[in-house]
Structure 1
């Protein structure tokens, strides 16, 4: 009963060995935090704080979670979670569920040497307006940068989000 009441601290389980499929993207693993800016032709531009977490369980998949907040007020804005499945041939499959109810299935590629991941939606589900999403993640001077572009039923692919994050 001690463990249930919190009177005895259990040691954290050891980290599992890194699966070989995840190894090329191991530089992503950990917690990242920074700031970004968003906009779109149909909405007012905005600034946000962001935290990304990439983790692994020893399986050939990376768990991904993201949350953002309004920089001025601290109020939560957007959140999403999913899984990244890197393949030995340099391709990658990603599934993401957003707090808005939107779901994405993305495919793309990664360049482990240059630390670039490029994703394009194969399917955007439960979205009445969003038709296409691309995401590009790059390392810039030890920081993680990304750019998200989006197309809706009213617009072609347009810049939507960009952020720069530092590893904690």
Structure 2
């Protein structure tokens, strides 16, 4: 959680998304036509880097039943004054994403659409929507592959630690 001193040093470009800053933890569920449905735990961290106009992002997930690590990804979010945001992510699977989208500070919603999905033999498109609702960060990830159209893959709800 940000201290009041740290909040004063948030870069102006990051301020509209400052509600994301901190560590979030919760649970999610995944599904897709080509895999069995599953549940997972997740921790996401958002931090403003040295008062730069960028947010560092990292996520790690684990199996709820055993605690065994599942997936991890990290990258950077670059919010723009016009309400757009650019995101680059590297996943532990070797897949990389370049996403662009919009952020709405009043509604506390970020909508992302892949511009590029690299090093992926099957994945063609990924969208992500993050929404702060009643103090919880909820998200939905949709994915399209060579065999499937864009459809829900992941959804989770996380609380700020």
TM-score, length-scaled by structure 1: 0.91
How many residue pairs are counted as aligned between the two chains? 155
Which residue in the other structure is 1:48 paired with? 40
Match of 1:110 among 88, 97, 103: 103
Q: Deviations over 1:57-103 (max 9, x none)?
A: 21000000000000001000000000000000000000000000000
Residue 137, structure 1, aligned to residue 130, structure 2? yes
**RMSD (Å) for aligned C-alpha atoms:** 1.0
Displacement, 1:140? 1.1
CA–CA distance in structure 2, aligned partners of residues 139 and 89 of structure 1: 20
Displacement, 1:17? 1.2
CA–CA distance in structure 2, aligned partners of residues 40 and 97 of structure 1: 21
Which residue in the other structure is 1:78 paired with? 71
Which residue in the other structure is 2:18 paired with? 26
Q: Deviations over 1:25-56 (max 9, x none)?
A: 00000000000000100000000000000001
Paired residue secondary structure (2:53): coil
| Greater Cα radius of gyration, structure 1 or 2 | 1
Paired residue secondary structure (1:35): strand
CA–CA distance in structure 1, aligned partners of residues 9 and 65 of structure 2: 40
CA–CA distance in structure 2, aligned partners of residues 54 and 107 of structure 1: 17
**Deviation beyond 3 Å, 4+ runs, structure 1:** none
Match of 1:37 among 26, 29, 32: 29
Which residue in the other structure is 1:4 paired with? none
CA–CA distance in structure 2, aligned partners of residues 163 and 19 of structure 1: 28
Structure 1 unmatched runs, 5+? 1-13
Residue 59, structure 1, aligned to residue 59, structure 2? no
CA–CA distance in structure 1, aligned partners of residues 132 and 148 of structure 2: 29
Structure 2 unmatched runs, 5+? none
Which residue in the other structure is 2:91 paired with? 98
Paired residue secondary structure (2:19): helix
